[in-house]
Amino acid sequence: MTTAERRTDERGGYPPPALTAAVLALIAVVLGVLAVGAIGETAARASATYRPTEAIVVAVHSEEQLVADRRGSRPETVRVVSVEFADGARADVRSEELDVGVTATVYRSDSGAVFETPPPRLGVLEWSLCAAIVAATAVLALATVRVLVRLRRPR
């Protein structure tokens, strides 16, 4: 057999091409949904504005939060303060420095989330991750189309 000839016989041990195409299509669809979700969340975080607002610290309590580092994730107890705004609304803010009775400047997002300091702007990593998911989806979609074209081609 020369290099220009294609192998037409089925080799044992390989899944049927239709199954390969179905699995690739399923993975491409799942990645596509993840890409839409990641891009939507990243765009929402990038376009969020944080307004400085005066609030009074009214209570302090502790919460268990899952903290991840390079060695893994573990539960950790964090200090959380409850703040009350001028309109009477309350929110919880993670803070090691604010004490009860203090008037503090906190940052409120459009969605209602409250932070002690404004969150850092999104960096290259977040946008690169979105681009990588989109690229992976496109590659899998092309691989699926390629397998489907082979299936439809007469032998």
Exposure letters 104-137 (e unless 16+ CB within 10 A, then b) = bebbbbeeeebebeeeeeeeeeeeeebeebbebb
Clarify whether residues 69 and 98 are in a common domain: yes
Clarify whether residues 143 and 102 are in a common domain: no
Which residue's structure tokens are 């969020």? 48
Q: How many distinct structural domains can be found in the chain?
A: 2
H helix runs in 48-155, sequence order: 124-152
Q: Is residue 89 part of a domain?
A: yes
pTM beyond 0.85: no
Q: At what angle do helices 17-47 and 124-152 cross, to 10 degrees?
A: 160
| Assigned token pair, 116 | 């002690």
Dihedral sign computed on CA atoms, order 136, 141, 147, 150? negative
Query: CB–CB of 83/59 below 8 Å?
Result: no
Tens digits of pLDDT across the chain (155 residues): 555 566 556 667 778 878 888 888 888 888 888 888 888 888 888 888 888 989 988 988 888 888 888 888 888 888 889 899 888 888 888 888 888 888 888 888 887 788 888 888 888 888 888 888 888 888 888 888 888 888 777 66
Which domain range does residue 137 map to? 17-45+125-152
